[in-house]
Amino acid sequence: MEKAVFDARYEVYRQAVEEYLNGQFTEQTDWSDLYDSMRYSLLAGGKRIRPVLTLEFARIAGAGEDWRSALPAACALELVHTYSLIHDDLPCMDDDDLRRGKPTNHKVYGETMAVLAGDALQPAAYERILTAPGISEGGRLECALLLARASGPDGMVAGQVLDTLHAPKTGDELHQVHRLKTSAMISAACAMGCAAFGAGPELRTAAEEYAQQIGIAFQIRDDMLDVIGDEATFGKPIGSDKEEGKVTFADLLGIEGCEQAVRECTEKAVAAIAPYDADGFLTFFAERLASRMK
Amino acid sequence: MEKAVFDARYEVYRQAVEEYLNGQFTEQTDWSDLYDSMRYSLLAGGKRIRPVLTLEFARIAGAGEDWRSALPAACALELVHTYSLIHDDLPCMDDDDLRRGKPTNHKVYGETMAVLAGDALQPAAYERILTAPGISEGGRLECALLLARASGPDGMVAGQVLDTLHAPKTGDELHQVHRLKTSAMISAACAMGCAAFGAGPELRTAAEEYAQQIGIAFQIRDDMLDVIGDEATFGKPIGSDKEEGKVTFADLLGIEGCEQAVRECTEKAVAAIAPYDADGFLTFFAERLASRMK
């Protein structure tokens, strides 16, 4: 696949996601301030990696050009991802004032509203999956369950607990945190595209391997970029500003080791999905994630 | 129905709920502290009003003596109710140190964990509904959707926003808060029992009217008990310790007016459900709520 073709399809997916999200929580109600707070974070941009994966896997699994039928499921992932960002930024969590260059939700709407906006995004996500008109009853049920498992007490929230309250120190602990906190939701994104359109077991297995590998690569690249970004921008030595006692892949593997690991994971991801990735979109997607600069 | 018969059945339901909840989040994991925090609030007692309603409506709707099949759906309501209590007690919300005489979740586990325990209880609730072995695929889908709508940005969370951030002042505003914050979940409880076992439209309509009326009666009784409790315990005059600008039904109707309203709502509830309440359990249930002292 050529870069221009990849970019064009990614952009079509991304715009479909933006349009869908932009159509949510627009009614006039007596609690429109809640809607405003939800929309503020939901429409704050981002690469929309998870929903794009769902849409591409829906296409492959059988939706074809009808991939828009998977939008409610794809965007439900983004609702849940957004709630997790709002709550992660709270003073009692990471206490961040900025996200993607904009004030965090609680800085704009206050802590009370930020907690409630996050709380409301979760059921809103399930409602959208469960009423998706273009997905079969069984498909909706499976998508909702995939989301619940990925984001629950044995998925994303467990990862957040380990990351925030346990401070991982070894490579194994770090892998566990990111498997739960990041890869689980990326796996759900791929699996939901498959489930929504009744993919067979071989595609599902390939999607799972692909998702696991790009999930690890994504996180290692993230840790690398923290260091590279710091060095480029501030000229700080590697790891000088990392939080006390918090270990990253950059600490454990070094920058070259990280590059190597990202390359290996990406190769495994690409190999796993090759039989289904006829036009190369998912290969390009994995390589783009592996080489991204932000 | 005799009091002893009612009490015995209520106790069977309540114990089944306690046993089910007690079996949740017990595995040994690296994030068992998250499980502990969830279990602490989940097992803190309470009347289990919502799951008991689900179980009785499941019985009426066709489950009969197989009402235990509805336990995952019934208890999912309790998971969501519990998350809402944990988050309501947070410093940025009502800032409560005690609930039912025990320290609140964040007082025991810290604010970070309390936010996360609440966050994890939501997907855990959907997981339980969506995998309930004794409920049909369509029934599971409908139960999950009922829960999502009742607890989401046009249900419980909207009510919490209005109550916490808008300070209702008129009778209409107060009714709106409680319709969203309390009645929506009570309605979902009754509707989920119906949905889990394919109740017909007449029973569903009767269940909805019953739920709406006991929901209002419940809340008015709550406001009354705040006043009566205060007077009995502290000898304070009516309404002396209510929060600035926050109006209650006791302010709007007076104690006698509240008693009258509770009686009327209870009568309407009982009349609505009479054709289906052959043995009188739901009649007794409504009357018990209306006359409760705590």
Q: Which residues pair with B98 in a beta bridge?
A: B103
Closest chain A C-alpha to B255 CA, distance in angstroms: 29
Closest CA to A219 of A268, A186, A245: A186
Residue corresponding to tokens 């996200």 = A99
Quickly state the pLDDT bin for A266 (edges 50, 70, 90). Answer: very high
pLDDT of A1 strictly over 70: yes
Question: Can you read off the two tokens belonging to residue A69?
Answer: 């039928």
- Choose the closest CB to B111 out of A35, A92, A148: A92
Q: What is the C-alpha separation between A109 and B263, in angstroms, rounded?
A: 41
Would you call B115 and A90 a contact, using CB atoms and an 8 Å cutoff?
yes
Instruction: Give B-chain residues touching A166 at CB under 8 angstroms.
Output: 30-31
pLDDT of A243 strictly over 70: no
Q: What is the CATH number of the domain that holds A279?
A: 1.10.600.10
- The secondary structure of A200-226, three-state, reads CHHHHHHHHHHHHHHHHHHHHHHHHHH
Q: Which amino acid is at B282?
A: L
Provide the residue range defining the domain that includes B106. Answer: 3-291
**Range scoring the smallest mean pLDDT among A187-196, A234-243, A246-255, B187-196:** A234-243
pTM, 2 dp: 0.96
pLDDT, tens digit (0-9, with 9 covering 90-100), for B141-161: 999 999 999 999 999 999 999
Interface of A with B in 146-165 (CB under 8 A): 147-149, 151-155, 157-158, 160-162, 164-165
What was the pLDDT predicted at B111? 98
Are A125 and B77 spatial neighbours (Cβ–Cβ below 8 Å)?
no
Interface of B with A in 187-216 (CB under 8 A): none
- Choose the closest CB to A87 out of B34, B119, B121: B119
Quickly state the pLDDT bin for B206 (edges 50, 70, 90). Answer: very high
pLDDT of B241 strictly over 80: no
Interface of A with B in 20-59 (CB under 8 A): 25, 29-31, 33-35, 38
Question: Could you say which DSSP state residue A154 is in?
Answer: T
Specify the number of domains making up chain A.
1
pLDDT of A234 strictly over 80: no
What was the pLDDT predicted at A230? 60
What was the pLDDT predicted at A229? 75
Mean pLDDT of chain B, nearest integer: 94
ipTM above 0.90, yes or no: yes
Would you call A153 and B31 a contact, using CB atoms and an 8 Å cutoff?
yes
Q: Which residues pair with B227 in a beta bridge?
A: none
Are B16 and B71 spatial neighbours (Cβ–Cβ below 8 Å)?
yes
Quickly state the pLDDT bin for B246 (edges 50, 70, 90). Answer: confident
What was the pLDDT predicted at A237? 47
Under 8 Å CB pairs connecting chains A and B tally to 160
Would you call B157 and A29 a contact, using CB atoms and an 8 Å cutoff?
no
Pick the residue of A113, A157, A172 with the most B CBs within 10 A to test the interface with B by mutation: A157
Are A77 and A54 spatial neighbours (Cβ–Cβ below 8 Å)?
yes
Are B84 and B160 spatial neighbours (Cβ–Cβ below 8 Å)?
yes
Q: Which amino acid is at B53?
A: L
